[in-house]
Amino acid sequence: MRVAFLGLGNMGRPMALNLRKAGHDVRGFDPAPEAAQGFAQAGGTTAPDAVAAVAGAQAVVTMLPAGKHVRAAYLDAGGILAHAPGALLIDSSTIDVGTAREVAAAAAAAGFDMVDAPVSGGVGGAEAATLTFMAGGTGAAFARAEPLLRAMGRNIVHAGEAGAGQAAKLCNNMLLGIGMIGAAEALVLADRLGLERQKLFDIVKSSSGANWSLTNYCPAPGPVPTAPSNRDYVPGFAVNLMLKDLTLAQEAAAGSGAATPLGAHAARLYAALAESGEGPRDFSVIYRWLAAAARDAVH
Ligand code: NAD
């Protein structure tokens, strides 16, 4: 299939390469020269601009930083809706539900099939083609998108109508952000009480307090050798990206009237962590930050 791929950053580049590996004719575009060069150096074909990339494409995949980039890429005069007639549209960026629905409505009005299909699994999952995709859109759009998503991921879920993929992503990441703080706080308290970290880990992993952040991604060095905590919190999933997702979740909560007090507090804690200079590190660095903090400084 002729596929245009817009956004060849940390996630988009390996995703586009996996589509290529699956036999698709991929044409990539990214306005950042280093991103475009990275794709070309890995064997990918690049286009000089978005219009050239999407011309004649049967499918267009976008992996862009935020809602404003997605709106511009699809709706601007030089954008996808104007230049890729009939193409299947897949937006895998993490963006606000409102923009996802707005772009999907414009696409539907112009006769396009579109899914919002944000991902979970990070750069490692993008490289290994093991991402989870949560897709929102009509059944027909999802059926068209699924084979392409399968070339980039392992767990492909149709979450519901347009915007449902973004809704699922925001709920998951709000829970992840809260869960990571919970795991970090338990480890900090254990340290201060003189309880050996490995003992706490061994007990909690098969007890009612177990959560993914502790058992698969332990924020304190030691118990999970593959976790970023053992390599000075090189991401992984950066604090800045977690803060972005928690902020989107808070916007969604405010817009829908959902009570999410822990989500709000988690957003404040990650904002303080980012302000302390840890934004580019893995979000599990919240353990080290809390371990160094005095109780009254963060309550
Ligand atoms: P990134 O900043 O590395 O890449 C985004 C790329 O989009 C950049 O290279 C930028 O130049 C390009 N871009 C901007 N406007 C464009 C346009 N109009 N046309 C083409 N390209 C354009 O970001 P990333 O880490 O690859 O993340 C992409 C998206 O995936 C974000 O929405 C992010 O929240 C989400 N996400 C990231 C991760 C992760 O671990 N990095 C995990 C899950 C989801």
Q: Which of 164, 173, 134, 145 is nearest to 260 (CA)?
A: 173
Q: Is 169 a catalytic residue?
A: yes
CA-nearest residue for atom 39, ligand 1, is 122
Say what the pLDDT of residue 294 is.
81
Ligand 1 pocket at CB < 6 A: 6-12, 29-32, 35, 50, 63-65, 69, 73, 93-94, 119, 122-123, 237, 241, 244
Say what the pLDDT of residue 285 is.
98
In sequence order, the 6+-apart residues with CB closer than 8 A to the CB of 157 are 132, 133, 134, 135, 168
Q: Which three-class secondary structure string do you get for the chain?
A: CEEEEECCCCCHHHHHHHHHHCCCEEEEECCCHHHHHHHHHCCCEECCCHHHHHCCCCEEEECCCCHHHHHHHHHCCCCHHHHCCCCEEEECCCCCHHHHHHHHHHHHHCCCCEEECCEECHHHHHHHCCEEEEEECCHHHHHHHHHHHHCCEEEEEEEECCCHHHHHHHHHHHHHHHHHHHHHHHHHHHHHCCCCHHHHHHHHCCCCCCCHHHHCCCCCCCCCCCCHHHHCCCCCCEHHHHHHHHHHHHHHHHHHCCCCHHHHHHHHHHHHHHHHHHCCCEHHHHHHHHHHCCHHHHC
Q: Which residues of the chain fall short of a pLDDT of 70?
A: none
Give 67 Cα–ligand 1 centroid separation in angstroms: 11
Domains delineated in the chain? 2-160 (3.40.50.720), 167-298 (1.10.1040.10)
Say what the pLDDT of residue 296 is.
82
The pick from 30, 34, 237 for probing ligand 1's pocket by mutation, whose C-beta has the most ligand atoms within 8 angstroms, reads 30
pLDDT, tens only, 249-273: 999 999 999 999 999 999 999 999 9
Say what the pLDDT of residue 231 is.
97
Say what the pLDDT of residue 196 is.
97
pLDDT, tens only, 210-258: 999 999 999 999 999 999 999 999 988 999 999 999 999 999 999 999 9
Say what the pLDDT of residue 211 is.
96
CA-nearest residue for atom 13, ligand 1, is 7
